[in-house]
Structure 1
Amino acid sequence: MFKQSFLFDTLDLTTEMPTAATKAVAGGQLKLIRRGVLEVTPSEVNEATKSIVISAGVHGNETTPLELVDAIVNDILAGTFEIKERCLFILAYPKAINNKTRFLDENLNRLFYKEVAGESVEVDIAKELMADVSAFFAPTPESQRWHLDLHCAIRKSEHFTFAVSPHTLTKTRSRELFSFIDKAQLDAVLLSQGKTNTFSCFSANTHNAQALTVELGQVSPLGENDLSLVDGFNLALRALLCGQLDTIEATSKSIIYGVCQTLTRTQEDFDFTFDAKVKNFTRFYKGDELGHDGETTLTVKQEYEAVVFPNKDVALGSRAALMVTEVNACFNDDYLEFSLPNS
């Protein structure tokens, strides 16, 4: 089906990559919808079959997920791995991957919303990917829709792997999803409390999918990743795809964080007091000064707050950092509920 592999054929922009289909050795079918978008259907599909989107390469320099996806597709083609769930594998942004950059014109992972407009490479990609995901989910019960959008963090982190659970007004934080998080040995999960325009948020809000943005270590060049560092995630992901997640034991519980503050840059005179290279999830304590936004001093309000995704150079009106803290969480009717410590 591929001259080299799903990944490296996708990245070879000098050759066409027309729609194609082939039967999997172990059963089922692979269908290349277009460059970078591959649908894999198991030999048997029923109402209990999950439809799972696995996306990677939304940021071109985040390469560990690309290698994980390519290895899974290679094994499906070789007949050494048989999936039991419908899967849509996406390698989102070949031009940026080849360019070894996060993006070319603007951040693709801020453009996944129905009304997206403008003229850029990324806007066109976002529109195509939203259409692909919508078509894939269309024949599937909402309860069986999943989307794992795989990334790597730009900066170092106190948690080597972690996930971000997008905010929705519906029940998209199931007990099964959080069981997967624990079994995948993700160190932490951050519960977003405001709608964003990320890829996983699109699937959660538009299609009621169980969705996560998953951060797998730190950015490295393609071919230089130590995949053994994410063995736990890889094993759980493969178990999920072949319907055997119950065979994986969780060796620990992921720490669950909630957002207690969103630091937004509203003034040109904006800065943090901490070092620009501070690790994600670095803790600060009540009363600590975090920086300033014009004449407004930014301080810690909870007993402690950890900083995630800080960027003092964002555009005016944009998020400059999230401040998070561990939450009180429990399951009610198989869906997660939580509250901040002082609420």
Structure 2
Amino acid sequence: MAHPLTQHPPTVLPFGAPASMHPLGFGFGQPPRQNLGFGFGSPIHSPIHSGASTPYKRPAVRTSPTPIPTPNNKRSRRRSASPTPSPTGSPTLSRADERKILGKTPKRVRKEVGPAEQAADGPDVGLLLASMPPTSHLPILMELLNGNPAMSERVLKSLPAPPLSNVLETLERNVGKIGKAAGTWEPQEGVVAQRRWHRTEEDVSAFVKSANTYLKFFTSGSTGPTEPNTIFHLLHAITANVQQLLALVPSPNSPPPAARPLLNFANALLTAWNQWLGGLSDEVNNRGGMYPHGMVSSWADGLAGLTRAPPPPVAQPTHVSWSMAISAPVHVPESTLVSGFRDALVPVRVGFANSLGWMIR
């Protein structure tokens, strides 16, 4: 029979109590102890006398001397000491039924404990992993996560933050691979730009996935609060890389579908900048936090560099003779995606100067 408390949904329990709470917790709703037999306790015997309507008058007992013990008396005493059998219709269980129930209980316990005993008697998984090369741990972990995606959140909470230098080195390596496939970072148009994008499309997607993972890991606070200086250097490096990659997207007015993840990540990067500035302004102006003068100056210089437009290219003089007909190189303007992304960072630089500029004046 279900307990009364188990009939309520888990949301009724206050203070976020888990839904798997024992129904008899906190002492509420516990039935009387004599009703918790579950068939394993002592049977409850019914009264032997019958419920007659007329009162029964017990005859007076005459006193007699103590009888001399005889063999017949001993047999009668042993017979009277045996329990009185329950009458027909009694709710108690017979001895045969009790033996059946008690005989089934140990079997059920053995079936439940069996797997735990087998796991304890099996090989030590930690010892085996320690004896394997570290490069083999990642495939094993990824296989477990693919089979049980719910473990990802628990693994993230157990992961320590990687060194920022390792993260930046990984991202620079990815950008270098893209640069080799592209051949040049200069603006291009037409078929040349489309061919360059096709050569770098897969590498750009890999960079976006890696950069997005690192950005979410450091800004989500899953491993604790991250220092503002660490977040700034991560944002600055990723922003500079994204500015380079946006120049590779052909047809800025109608970019290809494969460039959509890069454009979405650029918008997420702008959101991360605004969150960093908002948290920093609240820490300094509302909570009285302070940072070194040199650190704040480096932040201001970094934002100024990201929002500064590159100088126009200088035309190189060409020395040709009257007999050689060489066409002058065609200047390709900067991609509107690059200039638009740079202009979107200007409010961050202005907000930093208005909120924290007094620290370096």
TM-score range, shorter chain: under 0.3
TM-score normalised by structure 1 residue count:
0.24
- TM norm structure 2: 0.24
Larger Rg: 2
